[in-house]
Amino acid sequence: MAKLRKIIHIDADCFYAAIEMRDDPSLEKVPLAIGGASQSRGVLCTANYHARTFGVRSAMPTAIAKRLCPNLIILPGNMEKYRIASRQMHAIFRQYTDIIEPLSLDEAYLDVTGTSSCQGSATLIAQAIREQIFNEVGIRVSAGVATNKFIAKVASDWNKPNGLKTVTPESQFEFVSQLPVKCISGIGKVSQEKLAAIGVHHCVDLQTIDFSLLQKTVGSMAFRLQQYAKGVDDRPVQVSRERKSVSVEHTFPHDLSSLEECLNMLPELLASLEARLAGRDFYSLINKYYLKLKFNDFRQTTVEQPIQSCFSSEVFSSLLHQAYSRHMRPVRLIGVGYRLSVQQEEQLSIEFD
């Protein structure tokens, strides 16, 4: 029998906001968000838990957030501070294992299967990491511990904020059975509606439904969904993943009706793109800028431009003008990124905290 893996998923609680509260304790007990100004049709990257009690959430237009919470304090953020905190967190991770898969500045998988620290207990390692990050970085993180990545990621969200959840091998089938299908990565609102139409609301429903009906409903996702619903996930923690592109993209809650509105969204997206690049040695591999638009009729277009000498965010404005001119209709999604000169492609999408 194969040895069970010990996987930890670490996820900082409202990371950007947590750093700002750490540096200015007066912000700890007030509703706080990081993002663009409401006057420029900005979007929030994250919000602290005080703000969330008003219904404020990440990826929400700032103007809507201010209507929900008139006293909301909005800061533009400081990516350099966040990158420093991320590097500190990863230095702590490396004290326990070298098998680390970063997902964003504040989120990572750790494989501690062969680690002897803390008597080899993944739960004790997770707790030690959480305490160290709080003492050395000054923020709180949540952790999930399980035998695979899917369950560990779900578990890290189980007791947020500042939580720790361990799902033992003996309890994992029962644990996943109770999960709503929305807990599975890739199941958005549309997929939830399709699954609900065939009586699938929780993972236990996925376990027993006829596979041919499931495949007819969700296509190629069917096998993966049924595996996850049974607690099966064989994906390893990948220390390095070659990419052909690094990008961020966002689907807006309301279509952007003009080129000006699209241009106003660029600063937030470019800040997130910079965060994706932080701590990774990709700059020497970048050979093109690219920008993607998806219009409200679901047609999409991509524009690319080779890197000439130095990087300039102004290039993305030019690419946006070009892409928008191709259809000149409301836009539902914008993506920005860089092409890399490597073989295997993997595109990273933006994950709001």
Residues in the chain, how many? 353
CA distances from 149 to 12, 228, 232, 327 (A): 17, 10, 10, 41
Sequence-separated (6 or more) residues with CB below 8 Å from residue 53 = 31
Helix extents (H) in the chain: 15-23, 49-52, 62-68, 79-93, 122-136, 149-156, 172-177, 189-197, 203-208, 211-218, 222-229, 259-277, 314-325
Q: What strand order describes the sheet that includes 32-35?
A: 44-47, 32-35, 73-75
Is-catalytic flag, 170?
A: no
In whole angstroms, what is the distance from residue 348 CA to residue 277 CA?
A: 11
In whole angstroms, what is the distance from residue 165 CA to residue 123 CA?
A: 8
**What letter represents residue 34's amino acid?**
I
11 is in an annotated binding site: yes
Count of C-beta atoms within a 10 Å radius of residue 284: 8
23 is in an annotated binding site: no
Marked catalytic residue, from 20, 28, 80, 107: 107
The DSSP output letter for 343 is: S
Extract the annotated binding site: 11, 106
Extract the annotated binding site for Mg(2+): 11, 106
Q: Which residues are catalytic?
A: 107
